[in-house]
Amino acid sequence: MNRKQIKPAKLAVAFMLLAFALWNCKDDPNGTGMELLPGSDLKTVGQSVDSESIEAFTEKDGPLKTDEPNYNVFGTFNDPVFGKTTADMAFHVRLPGYPGYADTLQLDSVVLYLLYKEFYGDTITTQSLKVYKLQEDIYIDTLSDAGASDYSYYQDVDLKSLAFSTPVGELDFIPKLELDSTGTDTLVQELAIRLDDSVAEELYNADSTQMVNNDTFLDFFKGFYVEPQDIENGGGLVRISTLSAGSNLTLFYSDHEAETDTLIKQYTFSYGINSSSARISSYTHDYSGTAFADQLGANQSEPDSLIYLQTLGGLRAKINIPNLDDWKDSVQYGDYVINKAQLIFQVDTLASDYQTYSVPPKLALFAIDETYQPGEDEYLYFPYDYGVSPNLYGGFFYAEDATYRFNITNHLQAILENEEVTNDGFYLSTLYQNEQTRRVVLKGSTSHVGIRLGVTYTKLN
């Protein structure tokens, strides 16, 4: 993301002292509705709270890059507020070494194991999946010498078109959630999908030249595509630990006594999924029938009373704070020092149902460069407070009052002091987009609570 350079702030020592002294001051709840611009008769140190001029709009997020995540989200989820989300995936399995299968051994079965720990949705709806062999190559994303990506996949990639049409495995399952002894963390669960014997035979009978190394093996066996089946109600999304050692393809074979066929010993050989494997997800969102469907793609002339945020390339919010320009246009450089500027978003706890559906533990607020065009997210950048301290910049969820708070003190000061720093709005988004299911409903700018910007400032004499 582009970062603009700002001039060294004047009176830096005074600013820092005041910032530390005033940082823990609570916003005055009776200040809502005050004019953002301080009047000429205000004292040297003042406060202002603005909640009326801010505008907020829900937008579709994305396109989200979906290759090589730490976790692959998978399943079908009919969210009661956010509509239907479908997530599928494709991946390589790789040789850990040369198998060395003996002709005298008996082939038993092959099983695809996928581990998961987190589940988002209901635990009563049966879900179904199908496994297909890949027909086309998929590639792990790498960087060229110039620093550009050689292979990138995005959330709308059609993974099914890369696979054979006949499934080689199916499974019906009801996702499980089991708490550990502390009653807080979920334990790892397992999807065990027995595949067709033809897969076992293909691997077992592979020519030695096809297993010289992983490059030749992937030319021979390109991997799998896993597809969730559609469900009309309920469901959920599992967070697959594809990089876990327990997620693998295991071939079972055995040695038997020739005359009596008595089992002597059973063997296993596991083809792994690791950081060298291509791992790709695809996400589809259907917002038809939702309360906010008509807001998406509209002219957005009227701000929303509720705004909706969602991971997996789902939804984000555009935030406009036009009164930030009033500070810059109405005062001369050096007249004001911003001691604290905090942007506060209130969670709609009823619409979010956050006791059932976990909200994001942290959100991200990006400033918009004046040259930004839709789809060019490289022109989004963190407010300057993030460079001072990511923790001070904030964005964390505060459960005690169900709010998210961002400190944009340095950013507002930069707008006052530097003509190159423009006020072109912000985007509010979820984090961990490609590997975690989270969503939240926030009070919009036209709601009774609104979005609040609290500013503590010093007017220099």
pTM over 0.75: yes
CA 394, CA 406: separation in Å to the nearest integer? Answer: 5
Beta strand pairing call for 169-173 and 127-133: antiparallel
| Amino acid 178: pLDDT | 74
What residue ranges in 18-60 does DSSP mark as E strands? 45-50, 55-60
More reliable by pLDDT, 376 or 291? 291
Residue-range domain boundaries for the chain: 12-62+294-459, 72-277
State the pLDDT confidence band at 300, using cuts at 50, 70 and 90: low
Q: What DSSP letter does each residue of 306-325 carry, written as one string?
A: EEEEETTTTEEEEEE-THHH
Q: Per-residue pLDDT tens for 243-253?
A: 998 999 999 99
Residue that has been written with the tokens 């209130």 in this structure: 346
Q: Per-residue pLDDT tens for 252-296?
A: 998 877 777 777 788 899 999 999 999 999 999 999 999 999 888
Q: Per-residue pLDDT tens for 193-229?
A: 999 999 999 999 999 899 999 999 999 999 999 999 9
Q: Per-residue pLDDT tens for 424-456?
A: 899 999 999 999 999 999 999 888 888 999 888
| Amino acid 322: pLDDT | 84
Residue 15's SS3 state is: helix
Cβ atoms < 10 Å from Cβ of 261:
8
The torsion angles phi and psi of 143, rounded to 5 degrees, stand at: -100, 135
Token reading at 432: 């961990």
CA 127, CA 170: separation in Å to the nearest integer? Answer: 11
